[in-house]
Amino acid sequence: MIVDLNVSQKRALVIGGGTEGLRKVHGLLDQECNITVITSRLNKELKKMSDDGKLRLIKKRVKDVSILDEFNNTFLILAATDDKELNRKLVEKGRSMGAFVYASDDPTISDFSYTSLVNIEGLIQVAISTSGKSPIMARKIRMKIERMLHRIINDSDIGNIILQEYARKRAKQEIDTVKERKEFLYSLIKDKNIQYLLRSNKLEEAKMTALHILKNWEKMSKI
């Protein structure tokens, strides 16, 4: 089962700053979570992320699971050291603390497996998973799907996503029922003028048109 884990505003701990640890950090950067990295390897990229305020960096060699005692109320713990036995113990300890846990070298003991992700404009995410059986093949298939998606998803699709998010927030303030809000949002997708504006890259005009429709929607609902 593939799920999209919501880590926004939650604490995420990455233990290990090597290749796998860095990869996991990159996967967290756009998730709006509070990232802490513990590593004895202070590479330039991690240091720059720390200097830019993107994460908290602790330079320390992790010898045992006692390091986790300092991190209560952590939502996500990613063990990415080069010691398989230590990773296993960190996962066990993290799970006992109530955190979601992942070992970079053993998905079978983890609470979830990482998917190979296609990310388009930070708005569309398509996950490809082999359930940990072959990460290499997951990446290979991802590259095939990514090329295809970039061909079929256009600027109008991206514009519709942005407009729908904007309109949904405004509709929640003005329309009481879920059923009516859905009808309103579907009407924007069907509206020829709005779709023309989005194809013409006139997103702000499309937003204004959506607001006009929303105001008229309110008037109609009061009749």
pLDDT in tens, 155-174: 999 999 999 999 999 999 99
| SS3 state of residue 122 | coil
> Are 62 and 141 found together in one domain?
no
Lowest mean pLDDT among 27-31, 33-37, 144-148, 209-213: 27-31
pLDDT of res. 116: 79
152, 177, 201: which is the final residue of a domain? 152
Share of the chain above pLDDT 70, in %: 96
Question: Cα dihedral angle (17, 21, 22, 28), rounded to 10 degrees?
Answer: -130
pLDDT of res. 85: 96
Task: Show the tokens assigned to 165.
Answer: 């998010």
> Are 56 and 14 found together in one domain?
yes
> Are 168 and 66 found together in one domain?
no
**Number of domains observed in the structure of the chain:** 3
> Are 26 and 92 found together in one domain?
yes
> Are 55 and 124 found together in one domain?
no
Contacts 24+ apart (CB under 8 A), 166-175: 166/207, 166/210, 167/207, 167/210, 167/214, 170/210, 170/211, 170/214, 171/214, 174/214, 174/217, 174/218, 175/214, 175/217, 175/218, 175/221
What is the chain's mean pLDDT, rounded?
92
> Are 175 and 81 found together in one domain?
no
Could you tell me the sign of the dihedral formed by the alpha carbons of 192, 148, 131, 104, in that order?
A: negative
| SS3 state of residue 15 | strand
> Are 20 and 121 found together in one domain?
no
> Are 36 and 128 found together in one domain?
no
pTM: 0.67
Q: Which domain holds residue 27?
A: 1-114
pLDDT (tens digit, 9 = 90+) per residue, 93-138?
Answer: 999 999 999 999 988 899 987 777 888 888 888 888 887 778 789 8
Share of the chain above pLDDT 90, in %: 73
> Are 84 and 171 found together in one domain?
no
> Are 30 and 136 found together in one domain?
no
pLDDT band at residue 42 using 50, 70 and 90 as cut-offs: confident
pLDDT of res. 222: 59
Q: What would the mean pLDDT of 65-73 be, rounded to a whole number?
A: 94
> Are 6 and 46 found together in one domain?
yes
pLDDT of res. 201: 95
> Are 89 and 185 found together in one domain?
no
Q: What would the mean pLDDT of 40-53 be, rounded to a whole number?
A: 92
